[in-house]
């Protein structure tokens, strides 16, 4: 884990991201890329964020204004043009790269079924545009912080294309891996457009089974690499955690740091949350009852005070492990007196399965298929338990939010779940959640059973755990201080880069 910044230096930082709240979010990446710049700005750094201007980002709503005039972006196929819009978020500037044919469509990375075929061009262009924007703005960053495959190429572009550009002579790159399963692997014929140079199409850099791998390039070229929890940093040094990239990560292990995500408690705190039925705090949890009733009403569940509710909010993707829950769901509902409130979208067969449960179990299962922020808050506040059967989880934010809402997580002990949840001890009532090791359907069944029996048989333990959970604090300030230290090290590393 990185230590805190000792020298108190203020940096100029460009965040290059493909999503960030409040503008656009498909998952935790959006939460992090909204919250981390905000706290760094508060700490006195000059932070700026660049996002693509997707069709769904409303210019009027966010008061986005064109700046600079048309901007030419060099690509392997010549110069392409875009427009820059400027907005603000929590006191720092946010720039939007507008290029209608790439970003003026519904969907960020796919059309709901298939990934967009031109993703390498879209995000290659975006990454190049981030560097061009710095120059046109005359903003000479100390650090460019890029995230996941979508902006991974910023790091190699700095070292390849901009190698001899004095403007970037002192700019270091930090690459954050939020999920190593999505590496940005594409067909080789996009390589020419990216303009990364034939010499670099090698196994150590961009080549991947004959195609291109964006993340591999960033792992090679970034001055520092971070990932979103200490446990996940260890997991990606080996397989299967690294999805085939462990040998490349190992080569950079001295520059790898695991920094746990924080939670943005401005938005996720039951004491002040305006989206829930009644506010409550660790000192007075009584409002949680009204939140449970509101959840039951909204999800058409029987209005029973003394039946536990298991909440779920998730992308339905293999990573999240709901295929295991699906296998044991009927058994759970047959054997246990429990209700479920489910909010999710993604995999079509899981959408059909979970979306079909309320018809089979009226009053016991409520499900809403889609993305809905207010319903997410309603579940966090109203449920008794929060289920995350993830096969792997780099950090996970929902369990962190759940702890704050006194909604005890039931989760597999992997990645950030392991780093944030304290295992329940049946003898003493210690702990903040229910963890299991094996990624199997029967482990999901058993652990849900363990939580439900604790609810009925050891209510005093539930009480203790709730309070303990609610006072856990995963502050962005702590994490941001660790990022400051990584920035310092990245700048040093940049100076010795061969």
Contact call for residues 437 and 374 (beta carbons, < 8 A): no
Q: Which two tokens stand for residue 262?
A: 């924080």
28 vs 184 by CB, closer to ligand ADP: 28
150 lines the binding site for ligand ADP (CB under 6 A): no
b/e per residue, 329-348, with b = 16+ CB within 10 A?
beebbeebebbbbbbbbbbe
- Quote the CA–CA distance of 25 and 258 in Å, as a whole number: 23
> Among the candidate windows 26-34, 128-136, 214-222, 351-359, which touches ligand GLC by CB under 6 A?
26-34
- Quote the CA–CA distance of 91 and 45 in Å, as a whole number: 12
Site string for ligand ADP, 318-357 (x = CB under 6 A): -------------------------xxx------------
User: Least Å distance between CB 373 and ligand ADP?
Assistant: 5
Interface pick for ligand ADP out of 371, 446, 456, 464 (rule CB under 6 A)? 371
56 lines the binding site for ligand ADP (CB under 6 A): no
Site string for ligand GLC, 257-286 (x = CB under 6 A): ----x-------------------------
156 vs 433 by CB, closer to ligand ADP: 433
User: Least Å distance between CB 182 and ligand GLC?
Assistant: 8
> Among the candidate windows 26-34, 88-96, 207-215, 301-309, which touches ligand ADP by CB under 6 A?
26-34
> Among the candidate windows 22-30, 87-95, 235-243, 283-291, which touches ligand GLC by CB under 6 A?
22-30
What is the signed CA dihedral for 119, 125, 131, 135, rounded to 10 degrees? -150
Quickly list DSSP for 23-66: TB-SSHHHHHHHHHHHHHHHTT-EEEEEEE--TTS-TTTTT-EE
- How many CB atoms are located within 10 Å of the residue 437 CB? 11
Contact call for residues 390 and 325 (beta carbons, < 8 A): no
Site string for ligand GLC, 388-417 (x = CB under 6 A): -----xxxxx------------------x-
Question: Residue 72: in which H helix or E strand, if any?
Answer: strand 65-75
103 vs 354 by CB, closer to ligand ADP: 354
Q: Which does 313 bind (CB under 5 to 8 A by kind): ligand ADP, ligand GLC, none?
A: ligand ADP
Q: From the CA atom positions of the chain, what is the Rg in Å?
A: 23
**Of 301, 264, 293, residue with least CA distance to 276:** 293
Interface pick for ligand ADP out of 17, 24, 31, 73 (rule CB under 6 A)? 31
315 lines the binding site for ligand ADP (CB under 6 A): yes
Contact call for residues 432 and 409 (beta carbons, < 8 A): yes
> Among the candidate windows 25-33, 127-135, 208-216, 353-361, which touches ligand GLC by CB under 6 A?
25-33
- Quote the CA–CA distance of 481 and 103 in Å, as a whole number: 34
- Quote the CA–CA distance of 225 and 215 in Å, as a whole number: 11
Query: Residue 274: helix, strand or coil by DSSP?
Result: coil
Q: Which two tokens stand for residue 155?
A: 């790091």
Interface pick for ligand ADP out of 373, 423, 438, 453 (rule CB under 6 A)? 373
28 lines the binding site for ligand ADP (CB under 6 A): yes
Site for ligand GLC in 225-244 (CB under 6 A): 228
> Among the candidate windows 36-44, 73-81, 367-375, 434-442, which touches ligand ADP by CB under 6 A?
367-375
**Of 257, 163, 241, 180, residue with least CA distance to 214:** 180
178 lines the binding site for ligand GLC (CB under 6 A): yes
228 vs 277 by CB, closer to ligand ADP: 228
Question: Residue 250: in which H helix or E strand, if any?
Answer: helix 246-251
* Residue carrying structure tokens 């007196």: 337
379 lines the binding site for ligand ADP (CB under 6 A): no
> Among the candidate windows 33-41, 285-293, 365-373, 437-445, which touches ligand ADP by CB under 6 A?
365-373
User: Least Å distance between CB 114 and ligand ADP?
Assistant: 19
Alpha helices (H) in 43-175, listed in sequence order: 100-103, 119-137, 148-152, 154-159
- Quote the CA–CA distance of 108 and 223 in Å, as a whole number: 28
227 lines the binding site for ligand ADP (CB under 6 A): no
396 lines the binding site for ligand ADP (CB under 6 A): yes
Q: Which does 314 bind (CB under 5 to 8 A by kind): ligand GLC, ligand ADP, none?
A: ligand ADP
Distance from chain centroid for Cα 50 = 17
Q: Which does 398 bind (CB under 5 to 8 A by kind): ligand ADP, ligand GLC, none?
A: ligand ADP
Category of 63 on φ-ψ map: left (φ > 0), alpha (ψ -120 to 50) or beta: left
Judged by the rule CB under 6 A, the positions of this chain that interact with ligand GLC are 27-29, 32, 178-179, 228, 261, 393-397, 416
């Amino acid at each position: 884990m990185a230590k805190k910044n000792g020298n108190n230096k203020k940096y100029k930082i460009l965040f290059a991201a493909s999503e960030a709240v409040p503008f656009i979010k498909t998952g935790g990446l959006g939460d992090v890329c909204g919250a981390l710049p905000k706290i760094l700005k508060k700490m006195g750094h000059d932070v700026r964020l660049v996002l693509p201007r997707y069709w769904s980002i409303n210019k009027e709503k966010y008061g986005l204004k064109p700046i600079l005039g048309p901007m030419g972006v060099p690509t392997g196929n010549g110069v392409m043009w875009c427009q820059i819009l400027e907005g603000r978020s929590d006191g720092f500037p946010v720039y939007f790269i507008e290029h209608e044919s790439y970003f003026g469509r519904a969907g960020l990375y796919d059309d709901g079924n298939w990934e967009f075929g031109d993703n390498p061009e879209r995000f290659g262009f975006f990454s190049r545009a981030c560097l061009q924007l710095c120059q046109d703005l005359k903003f000479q960053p100390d650090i460019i912080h890029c995230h996941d495959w979508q902006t991974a190429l910023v790091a190699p572009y700095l070292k390849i294309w901009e190698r001899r550009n004095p403007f970037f002579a002192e700019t270091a790159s930090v690459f954050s891996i939020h999920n190593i399963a999505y590496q940005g692997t594409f067909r080789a014929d996009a390589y020419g457009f990216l303009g990364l140079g034939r010499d670099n199409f090698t196994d150590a850099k961009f080549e991947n089974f004959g195609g291109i791998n964006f993340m591999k390039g960033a792992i090679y070229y970034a001055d520092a690499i971070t990932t979103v929890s200490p446990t996940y940093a260890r997991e990606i040094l080996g397989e299967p955690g690294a999805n085939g990239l462990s040998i490349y990560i190992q080569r950079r292990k001295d520059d790898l740091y695991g920094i746990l995500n924080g939670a943005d408690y401005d938005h996720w705190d039951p004491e002040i949350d305006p989206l829930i039925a009644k506010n409550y705090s660790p000192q007075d949890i009584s409002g949680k009852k009204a939140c449970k009733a509101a959840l039951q009403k909204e999800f058409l569940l029987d209005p029973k005070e003394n039946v536990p509710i298991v909440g779920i909010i998730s992308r339905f993707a293999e990573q999240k492990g709901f295929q295991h829950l699906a296998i044991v769901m009927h058994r759970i509902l047959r054997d246990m007196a429990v209700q479920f409130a489910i909010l999710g979208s993604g995999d079509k067969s899981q959408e059909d399965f979970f979306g079909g449960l309320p018809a089979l179990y009226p009053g016991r299962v409520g499900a809403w298929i889609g993305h809905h922020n207010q319903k997410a808050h309603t579940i966090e506040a109203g449920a008794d338990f929060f289920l995350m059967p993830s096969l792997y989880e780099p950090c996970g934010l929902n369990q962190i939010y759940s702890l704050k809402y006194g909604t005890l997580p039931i989760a597999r002990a992997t990645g950030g779940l392991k780093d944030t949840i304290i295992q329940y001890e049946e003898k003493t009532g210690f702990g903040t959640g229910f963890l299991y090791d094996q990624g199997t359907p029967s482990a999901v069944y058993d652990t849900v059973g363990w939580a439900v029996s604790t609810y009925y048989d050891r209510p005093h333990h539930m009480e203790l755990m709730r309070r303990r959970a609610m006072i856990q604090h995963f502050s962005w300030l702590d994490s941001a201080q660790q990022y400051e230290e990584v920035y310092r090290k990245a700048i040093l590393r940049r100076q010795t880069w061969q």
